[in-house]
Structure 1
Amino acid sequence: MLHVLYLVGVSAFAASGVLAAHRANMDPFGGLALAFAASISGGTLRDLMLNRHPLYWTHDWVLLTVIMGVGVATIAYLRFWQLPQRSLLVVDATGLAVVTVIGARAAIDSDVTPLAVVIFGVITGVTGEVIRDVLCGEFPPLLLREDVYATAAAAGAALYLALDAAGVSDEPNAALSAGLVFALRIAAVYFGLHLPRPHGNRPDRTA
C-alpha cells in the first residue's frame, strides 16, 4: 500500500517538475530533468541523513519508470493543451502530502526520536520543490514564499506519528495524514490561509 502511495506522490512531483519547466520555457530535456529532481531529491536527502543504503530509487525500476512515463506524458500533453492556472500548485500539494507521509514512515522505521520523525517528514516533502524552483530560477522558492507549506507537511507528519503510536494501521493512517497535508495546502492556495503574522513593523504612512 505505501509503495503504491509513494508512486502516486512521485508521479505528482514528476508532473510538477515538468509544469515548472514549461512555465520557465525549458525544453523537453529540462522538463525531464526537473521531473526526476522534484521526485527523488527529498527521499535521497532523507536516506543520506538516515544512512540508509542503497538509496531507495537506485534499485526500484518501477519508480524510475513511473517518473519517466509521467514526465513524457505531461510534456506531450502540454504540447496540445493548456492546464488551469493553479494546476502546478494543486499537483504540488498532492506530491507534498504523499511524500511527507512516506518520509515520516521511513524515519519511524529508522527508530529516530519523535521530533526527528516530523523533521524528516518535512524534509522529504519539501526538498524536491526547493530543488525544482531553484533550477527554474525562481527565488525565493515556494517554500519561502508560502508559510503554509512546510507547516502543512509538519502537521501531517505529526498526525502520522501520533496515529502510529496509537496503533492505527498504515493504510488509514497514511490516508488521514496525507489528507490533512493536502487540505491545509489547498486551503492556503484557494482561501489565502496563512499563519498569524505580526502587526508590528508596518510602514509609516505619515512619512
Structure 2
Amino acid sequence: MFESTVTFLDWLGIVVFSLTGALVASRKQMDVVGFVLLGTVTGIGGGTLRDLLLDLHPVLWIEQPLYVVVCALVSTIAFFTAHLVHSRYQLILWLDAAGLALFAATGAERAIGVGAGPVVAVIMGMITACFGGIIRDTLSQERSIIFSYEIYVTAALAAAITLVCANALGIDRQVGVSAAFGVGFALRGGAIMFGWSLPRYRSRQGRAHENAVC
C-alpha cells in the first residue's frame, strides 16, 4: 500500500512540476517544443541529478521512459489551455510549492531506500525538489525562484529533514512522507501568502582602518 502511495506522489510531483515549466513557457510565449522542453526538464531534472549523484543506474527516466512521455503530454496540453488560467504566475507559485514538498519528501525517501545516510538523504531531497526549477528558470532566463526573498530551499530542507527524522524514529513510512509533505508545503505556502523569510545579511560600515587592532 505504501509503495503505491509513494509511486502516486512521485507521479503527481512529475505532473505538477511539468505544469509549472509549461506555464513559464506560456509567459515567455514559446512554441510547443519550448513548452515540452521546459516542462520535461522541470519534471525530471532534479530526480535525474539525484540519481546521478547516488550512482543509480539507470536513472529514473531511462528506467521508466513513461516519465518523459507524461512530461511531454502535460506540457502539450498546457500549450492549448494555458490561456484559460487568469493568473499564471500565482498558479505557478502554488503548483511549485506542492511539487517542492512532494519531491523533497520522495527524494529523501528514495535516497534512504538505497542506503544513503541521513545527511545525504536530506541533501538529495533538496536537490530533487529544487534543481528542476533551477534548470527551468535558467533556460527561460527567468530570475530563479531560489533567489526570492521568501522561504524556498529552506522549505525543501525542512521537508527532507522531517522525512529523515521520521525514518530514524521508526515512524510509519507513509506517515513520515505525509508529514514531510505537510511541513514543506506549509512553509512554502506561508512564504507565498505572508512573505515569510529568513533574516538576511545587511551591509554595514566596516571598522575604520586607524582604529583596527594590529
> What's the TM-score, normalizing by structure 1?
0.90
Distance 1:118 1:181 in 2: 13
Q: Secondary structure at 2:61's aligned position in 1?
A: helix
Q: Which amino acid aligns with 2:42?
A: A
2: CA distance, partners of 1:103 / 1:81: 30
Shift of residue 121 of structure 1?
0.7
Separation in 1, partners of 2:177, 2:80: 32
Which deviates more from structure 2 when the two are superposed, residues 193-202 or residues 1-10?
A: 193-202
Q: Give 1:148 shift.
A: 1.1
Q: Which amino acid aligns with 2:92?
A: L
Aligned equivalents of 1:117, 1:146: Cα separation in 2:
26
Shift of 1:160: 0.3
Q: Determine whether 1:173 maps to 2:197.
A: no
What's the CA shift for 1:127?
0.3
Q: Which amino acid aligns with 1:46?
A: R
Quick one: distance in 2 between partners of 1:80 and 1:98?
Answer: 26
Match of 1:7 among 11, 28, 43: 11
Which residue in 1 is equivalent to 2:29? Answer: 25
Query: Which stretch shows the higher mean deviation, 107-116 or 49-58?
Result: 107-116
The CA deviation string for residues 57-94 of structure 1, in whole angstroms up to 9 with x for no partner, is 11324433322232122222124443454111001111
Q: Give the distance between the partners of 1:70 and 1:93, measured in 2 at CA.
A: 18
- 1:176 Cα deviation (Å)? 1.1
How far the C-alpha of 1:52 sits from its partner, in A, is: 0.1
Name the larger-Rg structure: 2
Whether 2:165 is the aligned partner of 1:162: answer yes
**Change over 3 Å in CA distance of 1:198–1:55 after alignment to 2:** closer
Give the deviation of 1:169 after TM superposition: 2.0
Q: Equivalences for 1:15-164 in 2 at 5 Å?
A: 15-83=19-87, 85-139=89-143, 141-164=144-167
Identity of aligned residues (%): 33
Give unmatched runs, 5+ long, in structure 2.
Answer: 206-214
Count of paired positions? 201
Cα distance in 1, alignment partners of residues 83 and 193 from structure 2: 27
Shifted more, 69-78 versus 43-52: the winner is: 69-78
Task: Identify which range, 84-93 or 118-127, moves more after superposition.
Answer: 84-93
Shift in Å at residue 110 of structure 1?
2.4
Q: Name the CA shift for 1:40/1:193 in 2 (closer, same or farther; >3 Å).
A: same
Task: Give the root-mean-square deviation of aligned CA atoms.
Answer: 1.7
Over 3 Å counting, the alpha-carbon distance change for 1:80 and 1:93 in structure 2 is closer
